[in-house]
Chains A and B, each alone.
Chain A
Amino acid sequence: MTEITRRNALKLMSATFIAGAAVSMLPKMAFSAGTITVLNWQGYGTDEAWSIKAFQEATGIEVVHDYYSSEAEMLTKLRTNPGTYDLVILNAARCAQAMAEDLISPIDYAKVPNIASVAANLRSNENFNKDGVGYAVPWVWGLTAVAMREGLPKADSYAVFGDPAYKGRVGLQDDAVGAIAAAALLTGQDMNNPKDLDLVKGTLKGFKPNVKLLWSTEDQWNKSFAAKEFDVAMYWSGGAVRSRRVSKLPVDFVVPKEGGIGWVDGLGIPVGAPNAEGAHAFANWMIDPKFYVEWATKAGAPASANTAAMESLPADDLSRQIHKPEYIANMSIMSALPDDRREAFNNLWQEVKAFYAE
Chain B
Amino acid sequence: MRSDTILNDAARGSSDPRQRRPIPAWVATTALLLPTYGWLTLAVLLPLLTMFVFSFMSATPMGKTPIVFTLKHYRAFIDQPYLINIAWTSLVIGFWTTLLCAVFGFLAAVALARATVGRMRETLLVLLLLPFWTNGLVRVFSWTMVLRENGFLDGVVHMLLPDIGSVSFLYTRYAIVLGLVHGYLPYMILTCYIALSTIDDAIIEAAASLGARWWTILLRILLPLAAPGLISGAVLTFVPVIGSFMEPRILGGKVGVTMGTVIEDQFTQAFNWPLGAALSFTLLAVVLAIFATFSGVLRRGTTA
Binding site for B on A (CB under 8 A): 69-70, 72-73, 75-76, 79-80, 100-103, 175-176, 211-214, 227-229, 339, 342-343, 346-347, 350-351, 353-358
- Please measure, in the bound complex, the distance between the C-alpha atom of A131 and the C-alpha atom of B81, giving whole angstroms: 43
- Please measure, in the bound complex, the distance between the C-alpha atom of A80 and the C-alpha atom of B273, giving whole angstroms: 13
- Please measure, in the bound complex, the distance between the C-alpha atom of A343 and the C-alpha atom of B265, giving whole angstroms: 12
Q: Any chain A CB within 8 A of the CB of B177?
A: no
Among B24-32, B62-70, B116-124, B293-301, the stretch that binds chain A is: B62-70
Please state if A227 and B149 are interface contacts (CB–CB under 8 Å): yes
- By a CB distance below 8 angstroms, the chain B residues around A76 are 267-268, 271
Task: Among B62, B89, B267, B272, point to the contact of A343 (Cβ < 8 A).
Answer: B272
Task: Among B63, B148, B269, point to the contact of A176 (Cβ < 8 A).
Answer: B269
Closest A residue to B273 by CB, please name it. Answer: A76
**Closest beta carbon of chain B to A268's beta carbon, Å:** 16
Known: A76-B268, A227-B150, A358-B85. A214 touches B254 (CB 8 A): yes
- Please measure, in the bound complex, the distance between the C-alpha atom of A356 and the C-alpha atom of B59, giving whole angstroms: 28
Please state if A353 and B268 are interface contacts (CB–CB under 8 Å): no
Please state if A350 and B148 are interface contacts (CB–CB under 8 Å): no
By Cβ-Cβ distance, the 6 closest A-B pairs, closest first, are: A357-B257, A346-B270, A79-B62, A101-B63, A354-B82, A357-B255
**How would you classify the secondary structure of chain B's contact residues: helix, strand, loop or mixed?**
loop
- Please measure, in the bound complex, the distance between the C-alpha atom of A347 and the C-alpha atom of B271, giving whole angstroms: 12
- By a CB distance below 8 angstroms, the chain B residues around A356 are 254-255, 257
Please state if A351 and B80 are interface contacts (CB–CB under 8 Å): yes
Please state if A229 and B149 are interface contacts (CB–CB under 8 Å): yes
- Please measure, in the bound complex, the distance between the C-alpha atom of A229 and the C-alpha atom of B166, giving whole angstroms: 12
**Closest beta carbon of chain A to B150's beta carbon, Å:** 6
- By a CB distance below 8 angstroms, the chain A residues around B150 are 227-228
- Please measure, in the bound complex, the distance between the C-alpha atom of A80 and the C-alpha atom of B271, giving whole angstroms: 12
- What 1/0 flags go to B117-154 for Cβ under 8 Å of A? 00000000000000000000000000000001111000
- By a CB distance below 8 angstroms, the chain A residues around B82 are 350-351, 354-355
- By a CB distance below 8 angstroms, the chain A residues around B193 are none
Please state if A353 and B257 are interface contacts (CB–CB under 8 Å): yes
Interface Cβ pair total, 8 Å cutoff: 76
Could you list 20 further interchain pairs (A-B, Cβ under 8 angstroms) beyond the known A72-B268, A229-B149?
A70-B268, A73-B269, A76-B267, A76-B271, A79-B62, A79-B63, A80-B62, A102-B64, A211-B254, A213-B171, A213-B254, A227-B148, A227-B149, A228-B149, A229-B148, A342-B270, A353-B257, A354-B83, A357-B252, A357-B255
**How would you classify the secondary structure of chain A's contact residues: helix, strand, loop or mixed?**
helix
Known: A214-B254, A354-B257. A72 touches B269 (CB 8 A): yes
- By a CB distance below 8 angstroms, the chain A residues around B272 are 343, 346
- By a CB distance below 8 angstroms, the chain A residues around B268 are 69-70, 72-73, 76
- Please measure, in the bound complex, the distance between the C-alpha atom of A255 and the C-alpha atom of B293, giving whole angstroms: 56
- Please measure, in the bound complex, the distance between the C-alpha atom of A161 and the C-alpha atom of B99, giving whole angstroms: 39
A-B contact pairs, 13 of them (CB 8 A): A69-B268, A70-B269, A72-B268, A72-B269, A75-B271, A79-B63, A176-B270, A212-B254, A227-B150, A346-B272, A357-B86, A357-B256, A358-B85
- Please measure, in the bound complex, the distance between the C-alpha atom of A75 and the C-alpha atom of B64, giving whole angstroms: 13
- Please measure, in the bound complex, the distance between the C-alpha atom of A134 and the C-alpha atom of B85, giving whole angstroms: 47
In chain B between 33 and 65, which residues have their CB closer than 8 angstroms to a CB of chain A? Answer: 59, 62-65
- By a CB distance below 8 angstroms, the chain A residues around B256 are 357
In this complex, the member of B80, B171, B271 whose beta carbon has the largest number of chain A beta carbons within 10 angstroms is B271
Please state if B254 and A357 are interface contacts (CB–CB under 8 Å): yes
Closest A residue to B261 by CB, please name it. Answer: A353
In chain B between 259 and 278, which residues have their CB closer than 8 angstroms to a CB of chain A? Answer: 262, 265, 267-272
Q: Any chain A CB within 8 A of the CB of B253?
A: yes
- Please measure, in the bound complex, the distance between the C-alpha atom of A227 and the C-alpha atom of B168, giving whole angstroms: 12
**Closest beta carbon of chain B to A216's beta carbon, Å:** 9
- Please measure, in the bound complex, the distance between the C-alpha atom of A52 and the C-alpha atom of B85, giving whole angstroms: 49
In this complex, the member of B83, B269, B270 whose beta carbon has the largest number of chain A beta carbons within 10 angstroms is B269
Task: Among B65, B85, B253, B270, point to the contact of A72 (Cβ < 8 A).
Answer: B270
- By a CB distance below 8 angstroms, the chain B residues around A354 are 82-83, 85-86, 257
**Closest beta carbon of chain B to A338's beta carbon, Å:** 11
- Please measure, in the bound complex, the distance between the C-alpha atom of A79 and the C-alpha atom of B65, giving whole angstroms: 13
In chain B between 76 and 98, which residues have their CB closer than 8 angstroms to a CB of chain A? Answer: 80, 82-83, 85-86, 89
- By a CB distance below 8 angstroms, the chain A residues around B151 are 227
**Closest beta carbon of chain A to B290's beta carbon, Å:** 22
- By a CB distance below 8 angstroms, the chain B residues around A342 are 270
- By a CB distance below 8 angstroms, the chain A residues around B269 are 70, 72-73, 175-176, 346
**Closest beta carbon of chain B to A11's beta carbon, Å:** 23
